C-alpha cells in the first residue's frame, strides 16, 4: 500500500501495482487519475506502508506551523478511496511532511528562516487520527517549517544534514553539531539566510 498525504491533512491509499511502470523519458500520469483530490489539495508526502501489523514503526506528521503528531501505522490500514483525515489542522496551517519513525530515532525539523531542531521521536506520544498534535518547534513570526527528516538510531551522529536554499546553494553539516533537544523549543541556526541564498 502507498499512502499519499496532502497539504490539507488528508491521507489516501492506493496499491503500488495500480501505478503503471514508465520508462525514464515518459511523462507519467497525473495524480488526479488515482486520487480524488480537491482543487486546492496537493500531495506533500508518499509513504510505502509496511506489510502486516508493524508495531515497531509509527507515522510522524509535521505541519507548516510546527505542530507534530505521531500515530500507529495501523491507523492507516484501511484508508477509504475518498481519503481520511490524518491530522486536524488549525486555520491557515498545512501538512508539510509525513515520515515513518522507529523507536530510538530522532526527528530533525528545518524552517524557512534557517532554524532547525532535533528531538527524540519518543518526545511525542502516539495519538488518534482526529487529534491535532503538539508543538514540535517554536517558530518566530513569519517563519514556517519547510522540511522534516528522520535520523535513524543506527546512524546516530555519523551522518550529515544537507540544507538546500531556494537559490540552489547547498551546505552539508555533521549531525554531531545538532544536539538532541526537547521538542517545542526554537532550535538552533542551521543556515544563514541572505538575498544570495534565498
30 neighbors 43 (Cβ within 8 angstroms)? no
Contact (CB, 8 A) for 148 and 100: no
pLDDT value of residue 52: 63
pLDDT of residue 195: 93
The residue whose grid cell reads 514540535 is 136
The C-alpha angle 160, 104, 188, rounded to 5 degrees, equals: 45
pTM of the model: 0.91
Q: What is the DSSP letter of 114?
A: S
The pLDDT of residue 55 is: 75
Q: DSSP 3-state assignment of 123? A: helix
* Confidence (pLDDT) at 82: 84
d(CA 81, CA 109): 30
Beta-sheet strand order (sheet of 106-111): 145-151, 106-111, 115-120, 188-189
Q: In 10 A of CB 102, how many CB atoms?
A: 14
Sequence-distant (≥ 6) Cβ neighbours of residue 86 within 8 angstroms:
5, 9, 10, 11, 61, 71, 76, 95, 98, 129
Asked if 96 and 149 count as a contact pair (C-beta separation under 8 A), the reply is: no
Question: What local confidence, expressed as pLDDT, does residue 116 receive?
Answer: 97
In 3D, which of 37, 149, 52, 40 has the Cα closest to residue 98? 149
pLDDT in tens, the chain (198 residues): 899 999 999 999 999 999 989 899 999 889 999 999 998 999 999 999 877 666 778 999 999 999 999 999 888 888 887 899 999 999 999 999 999 999 999 999 999 999 999 999 999 999 988 888 999 999 999 999 999 999 999 999 999 999 999 999 999 999 999 999 999 999 999 999 999 999
Q: What is the pLDDT of residue 168?
A: 95
pLDDT value at residue 49: 83
> What pLDDT score does 54 carry?
67
d(CA 47, CA 97): 10
User: CA angle, 61 as apex, 77 and 111 as ends, to 5°?
Assistant: 160
**In this predicted model, what pLDDT tens digit does every residue of 70-125 receive, in sequence order?**
999 888 888 887 899 999 999 999 999 999 999 999 999 999 999 999 999 999 99
Amino acid at each position: 500500500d502507498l499512502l499519499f498525504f496532502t497539504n490539507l491533512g488528508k491521507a489516501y491509499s492506493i496499491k503500488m501495482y495500480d501505478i503503471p511502470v514508465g520508462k525514464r523519458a515518459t511523462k507519467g500520469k497525473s495524480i488526479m487519475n488515482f486520487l480524488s483530490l480537491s482543487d486546492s489539495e496537493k500531495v506533500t508526502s508518499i509513504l510505502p506502508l509496511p506489510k502486516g501489523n508493524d508495531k515497531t514503526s509509527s507515522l510522524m506528521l509535521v505541519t507548516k506551523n510546527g505542530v507534530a503528531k505521531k500515530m500507529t501505522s495501523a491507523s492507516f490500514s484501511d484508508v477509504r478511496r475518498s481519503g481520511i483525515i490524518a491530522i486536524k489542522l488549525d486555520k491557515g496551517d498545512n501538512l508539510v511532511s509525513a515520515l515513518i519513525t522507529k523507536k530510538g530515532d530522532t526527528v530533525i525539523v528545518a524552517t524557512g528562516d534557517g532554524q532547525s531542531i532535533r528531538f527524540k521521536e519518543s518526545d511525542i506520544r502516539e495519538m488518534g487520527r482526529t487529534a491535532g498534535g503538539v508543538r514540535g518547534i517554536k517558530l518566530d513570526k513569519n517563519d514556517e517549517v519547510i522540511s522534516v527528516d528522520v535520523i535513524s538510531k543506527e546512524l546516530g551522529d555519523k551522518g550529515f544534514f544537507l540544507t538546500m536554499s531556494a537559490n540552489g546553494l547547498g551546505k552539508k553539516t555533521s549531525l554531531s553539531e545538532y544536539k538532541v533537544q526537547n521538542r517545542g523549543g526554537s532550535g538552533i541556526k542551521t543556515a544563514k539566510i541572505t538575498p544570495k541564498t534565498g
